[in-house]
Amino acid sequence: MIAKTALITGASKGIGKELSKIHAANGDNLVLVARSEEQLRLLKKEIETQYIFIKIEIIVKDLTVINSAKEIYDELKVKNIQIDYLINNAGFGDFGLFINTPWSRYQQMIDLNITSLSHMCHLFLSDMVLRKHGKVMNVSSTAAFQPEPMMAVYFATKSYVLHFSEALNNEVNDNGVSVTAFCPGPTDTHFMEDSNMKKSKLIKNTRLPSAYKVALSGYNAMMTGRSVKVFGFINKVVAYSVCIFPRKWVVSITRKMQ
**Binding residues for ligand NAP (CB under 6 A):** 9-16, 34-36, 39, 62-64, 89-92, 112, 139, 141, 184, 186-187, 189-191, 194, 211
Q: How far is the CB of 41 from ligand NAP (least distance, A)?
A: 11
Q: Which is nearer to ligand NAP, 60 or 129 (CB)?
A: 60
Q: Is 16 exposed, middle or buried (0-12, 13-18, 19+ CB in 10 A)?
A: buried
Q: Which is nearer to ligand NAP, 15 or 125 (CB)?
A: 15
Instruction: State which amino acid sits at residue 253.
Output: I
CA gyration radius for the chain?
Answer: 18
Residue 85 burial (CB count, 10 A): 24
Q: How far is the CB of 130 from ligand NAP (least distance, A)?
A: 27
Q: How far is the CB of 104 from ligand NAP (least distance, A)?
A: 13
Q: Which is nearer to ligand NAP, 142 or 178 (CB)?
A: 142
Closest CA to 69 of 20, 32, 123: 123
Cα 190 to Cα 133: distance, rounded to the nearest angstrom: 33
| DSSP character at residue 230 | E
Residue ranges with strand state E in the chain? 5-9, 29-34, 56-60, 85-88, 134-139, 177-183, 228-230
Q: How far is the CB of 124 from ligand NAP (least distance, A)?
A: 16
Q: Which is nearer to ligand NAP, 9 or 178 (CB)?
A: 9
Q: Which is nearer to ligand NAP, 134 or 186 (CB)?
A: 186
Q: How far is the CB of 81 from ligand NAP (least distance, A)?
A: 19
Q: How far is the CB of 19 from ligand NAP (least distance, A)?
A: 9
Question: DSSP 3-state helix, strand, coil percentages of the chain (rounded to 5)?
Answer: 55, 15, 30
Cα 113 to Cα 154: distance, rounded to the nearest angstrom: 8
User: Residues 140, 183: contact at Cβ < 8 Å?
Assistant: yes
Q: Which is nearer to ligand NAP, 120 or 177 (CB)?
A: 120
